[in-house]
Amino acid sequence: MVEQQEPEAVREHVRERVREYYAGWAGDKAESCCAGGGEDCCGGQAAGLDAPVLSLGCADAVSAAGLQPGEVVLDLGSGAGPDCFRAAAQVGPQGRVIGVDMTPEMLERAEAERVRRGLTQVEFRRGLIESIPLDDASVDVVISNCVINLSPDKPAVFAEIARVLRSGGRVSVADIVTRGPLRPDLKEGANAWAACVAGALPAEEIVEQLRRAGLADASWRPADGLAPAEIVEGLPFSAFITARKP
């Protein structure tokens, strides 16, 4: 199955709605970013940090990545930076963590927290995940947490991931996917897209798109430990998605 591509004007409308939505979160707007995705889907404070940091993820993407000291890590859609700060603790002072986000309000919040923590190995850059502002073959690991589903051009995201990964580098993301096509009544346009619902694709389609981007060993598993066959068809759920660059 090939994802249908929308005109650029439609894609930009979705991006703008998502940008506005998360700008509101940066100001502590209290609403769920994953309507219908379960109480632990998104929103709240990040665990494993010495002080609360706004977290809008859907699973523990950092622990799943198995980060090693000295690695260079890219976090796509880094938001207020909670996963970047946790990754920094794992890669250590000899490593490097780069967060990319398109929302100025989130980047401002993340940078203030980075300075407060004195994390010189962390940096934040403004950009789209469909056009990552990094050089070719410059990172060891790409992580992301409940963000790729928001993109209106996922093939571009996966192509960019393949571009910035070094040979032998890996992808380890947590995201909202479906088993089978998303139920039609859950797909309600830009608002549902910003709420992590309308942009969710079947997990197997995500795997196929990673393969088409040139990545190997692409796979997925439910984040809550259920067997894939136990997942209700047509509903969004959290999954870990992995792949590597040959």
What is the per-residue DSSP string for 161-215?
Answer: HHHHEEEEEEEEEEEEEESSSPPGGG--SHHHHHTTSTT--BHHHHHHHHHHTT-
* Residue 131, H or E segment: none
pTM of the model: 0.79
Predicted pLDDT at 10: 57
Predicted pLDDT at 143: 98
- Quote the CA–CA distance of 176 and 37 in Å, as a whole number: 8
CA angle, residues 191, 195, 200, in degrees to nearest 5: 105
Cβ-count burial of 32 within 10 angstroms (0-12 exposed, 13-18 middle, 19+ buried)?
A: middle
Predicted pLDDT at 58: 75
* Residue 74, H or E segment: strand 72-76
Fold of 8-244: Rossmann fold (3.40.50)
181 is written with which tokens?
Answer: 């096509």
Residuewise pLDDT in 10s, the chain (246 residues): 444 455 676 566 555 655 555 555 555 543 334 433 333 344 444 545 554 444 455 788 899 999 999 999 999 999 999 999 999 999 999 999 999 999 999 999 999 999 999 999 999 999 999 999 999 999 999 999 989 988 889 999 999 999 999 999 999 999 989 888 877 776 654 454 444 566 788 999 999 999 999 999 999 999 988 888 888 888 888 899 999 999
Pairing of strands 236-244, 165-178: antiparallel
HSE toward the beta carbon, residue 229, CA cutoff 13 A: 0
Largest CA distance in the chain: 48
Predicted pLDDT at 17: 59
199 is written with which tokens?
Answer: 């942009």
Asked if residues 205 and 218 have their Cβ atoms less than 8 Å apart, the reply is no
Predicted pLDDT at 135: 98
Write the CA distances from 58 to 55, 62, 165, integer angstroms.
9, 12, 23
